[in-house]
Amino acid sequence: MGVETYLVCCDCFRGIRYLSKNCKERFVLIGDLLNQEQLDIALLQEVWCEKDFLFLKKKLSSIYPYSHYFKSGFIGSGLAVFSRHQFHDAFLYRYSLFGYPYMAQHGDWFGGKAVGKVLLNINGLKIHVFVTHLHAEYCREKDSYLPHRVVQAWELQQFIRHTSAAADVVILGGDLNMHPDDLGTRLLRNYTGLQDSFSETANFDGCEEGHTHISENPFTNTDNLVPFGGGIRIDYILFKGSGEVDVSCESLSTTKGPVPGHPFPYSDHEALTAEFLFTPTTKGNRCSERQSGCVAGICASMLES
């Protein structure tokens, strides 16, 4: 018996009103996209203004009746969740290190970097979904924020481990601002057991090598991407199952540049879409006796405005 679950992660909108280019238009387009896709969960990042969250909440209400905005710092964490399934709980944990207040031009400190979590119970399966956005790198050669990201990754894995011990399925979507082999990424995966959708799927369709931050994007600083051939992979959909259910990534894809019919993309990063297959294990008491299709599906869209 198999169960298909979908997760869409579109990395953060660069959504700072009056500063971001085409901000209003992109929020409208992202709302249109999410309504068209009819996902199960949408995970958003860099929705800095609550007015923009309320705009999306109204626009998406017919498809995604449940939503939560994670408040943190002076301008908010930027994290928000929209869902077709009811939340049983929602929680935010703010990292102990998240930049410097005197580095105002970077702004990470003012957002109060954090991880948001929502709990779903779909036909008896406990689904724990996390969304986060770690501190930006800015300069890899002289990275003064490396200790901050490593601490954030350490706290993130602790938060996931200690709050999801009873979960049947764990899904993490986020802009980790770390390369796949960076210390923080390895800490996160090794201590939680989370698997990387890009590495695990046999069906990938998207930017070369799964890049989510590419030089062709007009909202990004291309100078930092030149040493890496014009693209890096710093956005992830990570997942794991449990003794109740096995989880496999059936497919993964990314968006590829501008919004159709427009000269600009949805975000400064490419969106990710992952399709998962849930298969109850032989010892899964809560799933083994169900009929096929016992879980309707989970779609999470993580967007950086």
What's the rounded Cα separation, in Å, for the pair 133 and 196? 17
Residue written as tokens 């890496």? 228
Closest-CA residue to 42 (of 100, 73, 94, 87): 87
DSSP 212: S
**Token pair of 30, please?**
């992202």
DSSP 63: T
The residue count of the chain comes to 305
Distance of CA 165 to the CA centre of its chain: 21
Active site (annotated) includes residue 269: yes
CB atoms within 10 A of CB 107: 16
The 114-122 sheet, strands edge to edge: 89-94, 114-122, 125-133, 169-175, 235-240, 195-196
Helix (H) or strand (E) holding 10: strand 3-10
What's the rounded Cα separation, in Å, for the pair 15 and 33? 16
> Which residues lie closer than 8 Å to 304 by C-beta, 6 or more apart?
10, 11, 12, 13, 14, 15, 44, 45, 46, 78, 133, 175, 267, 268, 269
The set of catalytic residues is 269
